[in-house]
Amino acid sequence: MNFFLISLIKTGIVAGAFMTTLAYLQWIERKVLAHIQSRLGPYRVGPHGLLQPLADVLKLTTKEGFVPSHVNVFFYVLAPFLAVLFALISICVIPFGPSVEILGVKTDLGLADLNIGVLFVLAISSVGVYGIALGGWASNNKYSLMGGLRSSAQMISYELPMAIALVSPLLLLNDLSLRTIVNEQAGYYLGVIPKWSILQMPFPQVFSFLIFLISAFAETNRVPFDLPEAENELVAGFHTEYSSLNFAAFFMAEYANMVTVTCMATVLFLGGWHPLWPAEYGSDYAPFALLAAGSAMLLFHGIVQPVRGRKWDRYSMPVAGLVFGALSLLFLLPALKPVLVPVFWFVAKAGVLLFLFIWIRGTLPRFRYDQLMNFTWKFLFPVAIVNLLITALAVALQGPKG
Amino acid sequence: MDLIFFLLFASIAVGCGISLVVQKHPIASALSLIGVMGSLAVLYLLLGAEFIAAVQLIVYAGAIMVLFVFVIMLLNAAEEAPSRKTNWPSRLLGVPLLAVFVALLAYLFDKMSPSLGTVTFGAFTTGGKQIGRSLFNNYLLPFEVTSVLVLIAILGAIVLARKEID
């Protein structure tokens, strides 16, 4: 089949899935945060608030796009575009699964395989700061300006430990292409311990994984590093003056950055689509078992033992249970199995990391500004360099690979 | 296809370069410079030098220009006021000198172009590995000397920026 046609189809699928993920990530975040704080979270729109993202999108698009009179209009309008562009573009080099054959067509699961994939993501994330910085500056508001300045200072500072933490697994895996990086992490030690670079000999990259995660929190402006939008100091930070779709663009950019960063962590440290334990011990059936268990639980609580006081659960829970059951059966189809199982493992790992992001938001307070800067320059950066040196030494002592 | 992209991004680069000089506002100038860097990176990419393109974007657009924009925003530099005094000598001499300069450039290029040869699209197939190898084998001494130079520059910056402690 035509290369362009395949690429077009893949782009459509990835874009659709990505956008849905962004919308529902927000629902998940609100739900998880609510349950951490002993609340219920969104509950009104649709069963268990499932249509809340749709309502939010409708609300934001139908609001008036208000441009304040005192702003620099060109940059004010440009900033959210830049933010969302740089946030969305990185997803195109992430490999979601191995090369597979679907309906007789051989293709890679993933949009593009650049042989400098890692550098591409770094480059895009390093120019991503312009959206926020410009938005803060163009708003002509002291709080926005402070937010924008904080954000650019923070992103410059945390990019260093992040880039250095990225280099150590690259030394182990010996390539810059993200697909080759994942392929290098295939296999198991002693038949059970996965060869992911977080566990790979000669020097497991646990420290650089932690450094990468911490820097990722700062790069995406998430709690505990969300000083650019610290509401008790800066009203709403860099997007104080934004409304309607412009505000939605900033909001979407933040979540898109989160997804990209977790995908990068999955690819570089957690072995991409390689399962947690080998296929001989039935890792291919894990998605089926997980979804079937979910389906059974939903059916049980919907039909046999409904929670008192939630009368709609009697109808919505069995429907959700049936959907989950159908999904679990999809993972058993021999035609779809080679596609869905690797993607499941990839999504599962990225999803765990995303949950970690939300969990930490519900747990930790915000840093003070001087603590933030001291932490990266006096602790994170030296530790990353020492880790890099030790990795380089270990790799050099081991000698060239096979 | 390649030629179309080349023409597109070359004209964007030139346009951004002109706008860099013409713009009155420092932020607009800085952004035009970023546009120049970005379109240069695309031109590298068209030649097949992906590594150089990525490094161009990371170092120039991602690090140096962020610092520029940061400083401009921090100092809150406003639009330049146009100077009242008209500088007659520069106005009179500027146009003829520019014409001479362009003519000289055209002449030199015309003389040199056959001997230099032309570069085709996708001519460089070297990836990160080859660049690293040639840096650490053939050009080890220049590389090390440059790194010492950078270190000296960093030390100089620290000495200059340091506050005197009594």
Q: B75 and B58: one domain?
A: yes
Number of domains in chain B: 2
pTM: 0.83
Which residues from B are below 8 Å from A137, CB to CB? Answer: 27, 73
Tokens coding A43: 């509950």
Asked whether residue B102 is assigned to any structural domain, the reply reads: no
| Beta carbons of B58 and A156 less than 8 Å apart | no
Q: What share of chain A is helix, strand, coil (3-state, %, to 5)?
A: 70, 5, 25
Q: Which of B55, B58, B73 sits opposite A145 (nearest CB)?
A: B73
Q: Which residues of A touch B24 (CB under 8 A)?
A: none
CB within 8 Å: A116 and B70: no
In this predicted structure, the answer to whether residue B166 has a pLDDT above a threshold of 60 is: no
- Is the domain of B10 the same as that of B51? yes
Do B31 and B2 share a structural domain?
Answer: yes
Q: Cβ–Cβ of A152/B61 closer than 8 Å? A: no
> SS3 for A21?
helix
Listed in sequence order, the residues at least 6 apart from A269 whose beta carbon sits closer than 8 Å to its beta carbon are A169, A196, A197, A198, A205, A208, A209, A212
* pLDDT of B147: 92
Q: How many residues does chain A have?
A: 402
The proportion of chain B whose per-residue pLDDT surpasses 90, expressed as a percent, equals: 8
ipTM of the modeled complex:
0.74
Are B157 and B111 in the same domain?
no
> CB–CB of A130 and B34 under 8 A?
yes
The arithmetic mean of pLDDT across residues B45-70, rounded, is: 83
User: According to the model, what pLDDT value does residue B150 have?
Assistant: 93
Mean pLDDT of A246-256: 85
Residues in chain A whose beta carbon is closer than 8 A to a beta carbon of chain B? 75, 114-116, 119-120, 122-124, 126-127, 129-130, 133-134, 136-137, 145, 148-149, 152-153, 155-156, 159, 176
B50: CATH: 1.20.120.1200
A58 CA to chain B: closest CA distance, Å? 33
Asked if the model's pLDDT at residue A301 lies above 90, the reply is: no
Q: Is residue B114 part of a domain?
A: yes
> Highest mean pLDDT range out of A244-248, A339-343, A360-364?
A360-364
Whether residue B113 is found in the same domain as residue B137: no
For A284, which DSSP code?
G
pLDDT of residue B117: 59
User: pLDDT grade, residue B26 (50/70/90)?
Assistant: confident
Q: Assess whether B120 and B132 both reside in one domain.
A: no
Joined tokens for residue A303: 């039909």
Chain B partners within 8 Å of A126 (Cβ): 57-58, 61-63, 66
Residue B64: its chain A contacts at CB < 8 A? none
A156/B51 touch (CB, cutoff 8 Å), yes or no: no
* A162 has pLDDT over 80: yes
Give the pLDDT confidence of A349-399 residue by residue, as tens digits: 889 999 998 898 888 888 888 888 888 888 888 999 999 999 888 888 887
Is the predicted pLDDT of residue B149 greater than 90, yes or no? yes
Q: How confident is the model at residue B162 (pLDDT cuts 50, 70, 90)?
A: confident
Same domain, B132 and B120: no
Q: Residue A145 and residue A90: Cα distance in Å, rounded? A: 27
Q: How confident is the model at residue B164 (pLDDT cuts 50, 70, 90)?
A: low
Mean residue pLDDT of chain A comes to 83
B91 lies in some domain? no
In this structure, are B119 and B145 located in the same domain? no
**pLDDT, average across residues A34-50:** 83
- Do B2 and B72 lie in one domain? The reply is yes
Answer whether B77 touches A (CB < 8 Å). no
Among B50, B62, B67, beta carbon nearest to A114? B50
Give A209-226 pLDDT, tens digit per residue.
899 999 988 888 887 877
Extents of the domains making up chain A? 13-60, 63-269+366-402
The average pLDDT across A256-278 equals 86
**Considering CB atoms only, which of A119, A123, A156 is closest to B66?**
A156
Q: What is the pLDDT of residues A99-130, one digit of tens each?
A: 777 766 777 777 777 778 888 888 888 888 88
- Phi, psi (degrees; rounded to nearest 5) at A102: -115, 125
Output the pLDDT for position A397: 85
Q: Determine whether the interchain pair B66/A130 forms a contact, defined as Cβ–Cβ distance below 8 Å.
A: yes
Whether B35 and B72 share a structural domain: yes
* B73 shares a domain with B131: no
Residue B119 lies in a domain: yes
Per DSSP, A225 falls in state S
Q: Which of A126, A134, A156 sits opposite B58 (nearest CB)?
A: A126
Range of the domain at B40: 1-80+107-125
Same domain, residue pair B119 and B146: no
Question: In this structure, what DSSP letter does residue A396 have?
Answer: H
pLDDT at position B155 is 92
Which chain B residues are Cβ-neighbours of A120 within 8 angstroms?
54
Question: Higher-confidence residue: A238 or A81?
Answer: A81
Cβ of B54 within 8 Å of Cβ of A120? The answer is yes
The count of C-alpha atoms lying within 13 angstroms of the C-alpha of A251, restricted to the half-sphere facing its C-beta, is: 19
With CA atoms as reference, report the closest residue to A161 among A317, A312, A376. Answer: A376
